Amino acid sequence: MQFVRKLVLAVIVVCASLPSLARADDAGLRATLARVATARNFQETEAVVRDLAATGEPAVERILSALADGNLYIRKSGQGVFIGKEDGQTIALADPVAGAAAGTAAKGDLTKVKVNNALRRTIRDAMGGLTLGSDDPAARLSAAGIMLKRPDIAALPALDAAIARETDAKVKAALAQARAATVLVSDLGEAEKLAAIGVLSNRGDSDALAQLTAFRAASTGVLAETAARSVQHIESSMAAWQVAQNVWYGISLGSVLLLAAIGLAITFGVMGVINMAHGEMVMLGAYTTFVVQQAIRAFAPDLFDWSLAFALPAAFLVAGGVGLAIERGMIRFLYGRPLETLLATWGVSLILQQAVRTIFGPTNQEVGAPSWMAGAFQLGQLTITWSRLWIVLFCLAVFLVLVFVMKRTSWGLRMRAVTQNRRMAASMGIRTPWVDAFTFALGSGIAGIAGVALGQIDNVSPNFGQGYIIDSFMVVVFGGVGNLWGTFIGAMTLGVLNKFLEPYAGAVLGKILVLVLIILFIQKRPRGLFALKGRAVEA
Amino acid sequence: MIARRLFSSDRRIAVTIATLLAAAVIVPVLNLAVPADSVFHMPSYVVALVGKYLCYALLALALDLVWGYCGILSLGHGAFFALGGYAMGMYLMRQIGARGVYGNPDLPDFMVFLNWKELPLYWLGFDQFWFAALMVMAVPGLLAFVFGWFAFRSRVTGVYLSIITQAMTYALLLAFFRNDMGFGGNNGLTDFKDILGFSVQASETRSALFAASALALALGVLVTWMVVGSKYGKLLMAVRDAESRTRFLGWRAENVKLFAFTLSAVMAGIAGALYVPQVGIINPGEFDPANSIEVVIWTAVGGRGTIVGPIVGALAVNAAKSWFTSALPEFWLFALGGLFIASTLFLPRGIVGLWDRWQAMRATRRAPSGQSNAAARTEPQPAE
C-alpha cells in the first residue's frame, strides 16, 4: 500500500517536473488498464486506479473520469476495455487510451465497471495529484485544495517542487497551505510545524480548521497549545464571517422587500389606499423588461447589455400609466372607503393577472441578465453575486431619489401636505385630486421599476406579483405608514431577521415566526414603527 | 315564541329558513326516491355541488356577521373554515383504520410514509365523533378569541386588522404545508372512507350531508338573526358606525367585537367541517389568502349587512364560477375581477340592496305621495 502510494507520488513528481519525458508507452498503459477486467472486487480496482495514476499519462485523466462517471465498460466476449456512451439500446464505444471512436455495441454485450464511494474518493485523490502539474491554474488550485483536505506525507516533495515552479500568486498561496497541512502530519521539527500552524491559521476556513483540530488532538505541549489558539482564532473569525454572511443575505432580502414595498408605502401612506394590485404592477414591470429584451434581441442584439437601461423607463411608464388609469377610473370614486378600495383593487389584480396570462401564456418567461450582472466575486469568505449587489445598489438609489423627491421638491411638499391634512392642503390651493392621481401613478411606476430588478432574480410568470404582495404589506405596516424611512428600516429589519432565523428554524418556519412576530408587534404599536402622530391619525 | 317573532317581524328571514328546511327534505327525496330516468331526479353530483355551495354560504354568512354588522373586514376567515375542515378531516382519517394503502391500524398513511412511529398527542381523541365535533367549533373559536382579544384590545382597526388577518391565514398556510406539522403536508387529508359508520361515497350519505348543511345554514341564519336583532346587535352596529362614540358612551367596544368575531369563527369552522366530507379532501390550499378574499366578494355581491345577502351572493357567485370554469375557463378571472370592481363601485349594497331599491321604487309608484323613501331608509348605510 505505502509502496504504491510512494510510487504514485514519485511518478507525479517526475511528471510534474519533466512533463516531456514522462511518456510511458501506450502498451504499458493498456496492460495496466486490462487488469480492470480481471479485478474481482473494489480493492483490486482501486489498485489498478493507483497504478494508472502512477503512469502519469494524460490519457489517464480521461479514463479515470469515465470510471468515476460509470462510463467504463468491459466487453463480455474476449478482452477489451472501452469508454462508452449510452445511446438508447446501444453504446457508442471509444478507445480509452487513444480516445478515438471504436464502433458501437449492444448493451447486453458489455459490463459496466462498478464503482463505490470509496473508489470514487480514490479516483478523485488520484486525479488531484495528476492535475498538480496541469497547465490550467484553476486545475492546480483545485489540486492544492484536495491535497489540503487529505494531506499525505509522501506528497511533500511534489508540493515543494510545485511551489518552486508556481508563478500564479494565488495558486502559490494555496499550495503553501496544502504544504502546511502536509507538514502537520509529517515528522518534521517543531519550528516547521509552528510555521505551518501559522499558515493554516491565516487561511482560516473550515478546511484549515479541520486539519488544525485533528493536529491538536494528536499533538502535545507547545504545539498543541498553539494549535488550540489557532483553532479558537479560526472559529471566532468563522463565526464573524457567518454573521457577516447572514447580514449580507438579510440586506439582500431586505432590499428586495424594500423595492417591492416602497411603491405601496407611497400610495398607502399618502392616500390611505390599499392597493392590492400592487404586486401586479411589479409583474407588469417584469413583463415590460421581457418585451423590451425581445425587441432588442430582434432588432439590435449588440445593445443587449443595455437592455435594462431601456427597460427601466419603459416599465416606469407602463406601470405608472396603468396606475393612473386605475386611479382615475376607479379609486377616486372610492376615497374614504378603504375596505372597498381594497376589494376593487383586488379585482383589478385578478384582471391584470388573467390578461397577462392570456397574452403571454401561463408559463415562466425568460428574462435575460446582461453580462455585467452574471457571476460572483469573493470578499473574504463571502461569495457575493453581482446580480444581488446590483439590486442592493439599485434599491438604495431608488430609495434616495424618492426621499429627495419627497423632501426637496415642491411636488413632494404638496404630497406631504396632503398626507398630513387633506382639507387644509385643499384650502391652500393644492389640487388634491391631481396630487392623488400622480402619487398613485408614481407608486405604481416605482413598482414597475422594482419589477425590472426583481425579474432578474425570480421567475417571471403571471403570478409573479402575488409572491410579493403579503411581504410588502408586512413591511409597510411594520415600518409605519406615511414614512419612507420607516419603510426602509422595516424592510431591512425584516430581511435580516428572516435570514438570522433561517439557520435555526428553517426557511418556512422562519417566515412563519416573522409573520407571528409582526402580528404581535402590531398589537403593541398598532400604527407601525414610525407612526404618524396627531390628528392625521384618525382622519 | 321565536317563530312568532320571526314571522311577524321579518318575512324574508322566515322564507329563507323555510326554503332551507324544505330543501333539506326535498333534495334527498329527489335524489334517492325518484328513479334515475325521471326528469325530477337529482343526480348525486349536483347534490354534492349544491351541498358545497351551502357550506360556502354559511362561511359567507359568518363573515357578514363581522364585516356587515361590525365593520371588521376579516381577510382570514378561510383560516377558520379550513381549521374546522381539518378537525373533521382528522376524524375521517381515523375512521379509515387499517384500510389505508399501508394497512396500518394505528397511523394514517402519510404518517407511515414519513416513518412516524406513533400518533402525535394532538391527534388523540379524534377517533371519537363527539370530540371531533367539539374541536370543529373549539379550535377556530379559540384562535379567533385569542387573536381578537389581542387585536381588539390594542385597537387595531380598519385596514391594519384586515392585513394582519391576512398574515394569520398566510402563516397558517405556510405552517400546514410543512410535513412535520403532522397534518399531511402538501397533500392534506384525503381518501376518506366512513363517517359515523356510513360510506362517504354513498348517495344516502351525500344526501344526509346535504341535509345537514342546509340545517346548519338555517341554524346559522336563525342565530345571526337573533344576535343582530338583540340589544347586543344594536351595539354591534353602533361599533360599526361610530366606534369611538360607542366607547365614549361607556361600552367596551373590544368585548362587543370579540364576541362577534369568535361566534363568526365558530360558524366558519362548522361550515368547513361540513364541506370536507362532501368534497373528500382538505389541504393547505384552503388557507390561501386569495380564498378568504373570495369569501368577501360573495358577501359583497349578495349584500353585506343583510342576512340573506351573503347566502344569495355565495350561491350566485359559485354557480357562476362552476359555469365559467367549465364553459369559459379563460374568462373566469376576468369575470371575478370585474365582479369585485362592479360590486364595490355600483352595488355597495349588493343584490339584496338592488332588490330593496326596486321594491321601494314600486312602492313609490303605487303611493306617489307621503312615505316615498321609507323602504329605502329602513336600514342605515354602513359606514367604515
Closest in A339, A512, A526 to B171, CB measured: A512
Is ipTM over 0.90? no
On chain A, the residues whose CB falls within 8 A of the CB of B290 are: 466
In total, chain B counts a number of residues equal to 384
Question: What residue of B is the nearest CA neighbor of A331?
Answer: B345
pLDDT value at position A129?
65
* pLDDT bucket at A18, cuts 50 / 70 / 90: very low
DSSP state of A460: B
A348 in contact with chain B, both atoms CB, cutoff 8 A: yes
Closest in A348, A353, A523 to B341, CB measured: A348
φ, ψ of residue B370 to 5 degrees: the values are: 80, -125
On chain A, the residues whose CB falls within 8 A of the CB of B165 are: none
Look at A350 and B296 and tell me if their CB atoms are within 8 Å.
no
A239 in contact with chain B, both atoms CB, cutoff 8 A: no
Closest in B178, B334, B345 to A333, CB measured: B345
pLDDT value at position B5?
63
DSSP, residue by residue, A32-91: HHHHHHH--SHHHHHHHHHHHHHH--HHHHHHHHHHHTT-EEEESSS--EEEEEEETTEE
Closest in A337, A508, A538 to B178, CB measured: A508
Question: What residue of A is the nearest CA neighbor of B73?
Answer: A339
> How far does the CA of residue A336 sit from the closest CA of chain B (Å)?
8
On chain A, the residues whose CB falls within 8 A of the CB of B288 are: none
On chain A, the residues whose CB falls within 8 A of the CB of B340 are: 343-344, 346-348, 350
DSSP, residue by residue, A308-351: HHHHHHHHHHHHHHHHHHHHHHTGGGSTT-HHHHHHHHHHHHHH
Closest in B167, B338, B340 to A343, CB measured: B340
A354 in contact with chain B, both atoms CB, cutoff 8 A: yes
Look at A470 and B334 and tell me if their CB atoms are within 8 Å.
no
Look at A333 and B384 and tell me if their CB atoms are within 8 Å.
no
Look at A523 and B151 and tell me if their CB atoms are within 8 Å.
yes
Nearest alpha-carbon partner for B300 in B349, B336, B356: B349
- How many A/B residue pairs have CB atoms within 8 Å? 128
A347 in contact with chain B, both atoms CB, cutoff 8 A: yes
Question: What residue of A is the nearest CA neighbor of B151?
Answer: A523
Residue B246 and residue B71 in contact, taking contact as beta carbons nearer than 8 Å: no
Q: Assign A366 to helix, strand or coil.
A: coil
pLDDT value at position B377?
45
Distance linking the first and last C-alpha atoms of chain A: 85
What whole-number distance in Å separates Cα of residue B208 and Cα of residue B267? Answer: 19
pLDDT in tens, B146-181: 999 999 988 888 888 888 899 999 999 999 998 888
Which residues 6+ apart lie within 8 Å of A309 measured at CB?
Answer: none
φ, ψ of residue A361 to 5 degrees: the values are: 90, 160
Query: Is pLDDT at A247 greater than 50 in this prediction?
Result: yes
Residue B79 and residue B169 in contact, taking contact as beta carbons nearer than 8 Å: yes
On chain B, the residues whose CB falls within 8 A of the CB of A515 are: 167-168, 170-171, 174
Per-residue pLDDT of chain B (384 residues), as tens digits, is 566 666 556 788 889 999 999 999 999 998 888 888 888 888 888 999 999 999 999 999 999 999 999 999 999 999 999 999 999 999 999 998 888 888 888 888 888 888 888 888 899 889 899 999 999 999 999 999 999 999 998 888 888 888 889 999 999 999 999 888 889 888 899 889 888 888 888 888 999 999 999 999 999 999 999 999 999 999 999 999 999 999 999 999 999 999 999 999 999 999 999 999 999 999 999 999 999 999 998 999 898 889 999 999 999 999 999 999 898 888 888 999 998 898 888 888 888 888 888 888 988 888 765 444 444 444 444 444
> How far does the CA of residue B231 sit from the closest CA of chain A (Å)?
27
Look at B334 and A511 and tell me if their CB atoms are within 8 Å.
no
On chain B, the residues whose CB falls within 8 A of the CB of A474 are: 163, 167
Look at B337 and A333 and tell me if their CB atoms are within 8 Å.
no
Look at B340 and A358 and tell me if their CB atoms are within 8 Å.
no
Residue A57 and residue A94 in contact, taking contact as beta carbons nearer than 8 Å: no
Look at A519 and B344 and tell me if their CB atoms are within 8 Å.
no
Q: Could you tell me how far CA B94 lies from the centroid of its own chain?
A: 25
Cut 0.90: pTM above it? no
Look at A348 and B162 and tell me if their CB atoms are within 8 Å.
no
> How far does the CA of residue B93 sit from the closest CA of chain A (Å)?
26
φ, ψ of residue B264 to 5 degrees: the values are: -65, -40
Closest in A350, A353, A526 to B340, CB measured: A350
Q: Pull the grid cell for residue A525.
A: 404599536
Question: What residue of B is the nearest CA neighbor of A524?
Answer: B154
Look at A470 and B296 and tell me if their CB atoms are within 8 Å.
no
Q: Pull the grid cell for residue A70.
A: 460509470
What whole-number distance in Å separates Cα of residue A346 and Cα of residue B68? Answer: 19
Most A CBs within 10 A among B66, B147, B160, B301, hence the mutation to make, goes to B160
* pLDDT bucket at A6, cuts 50 / 70 / 90: low
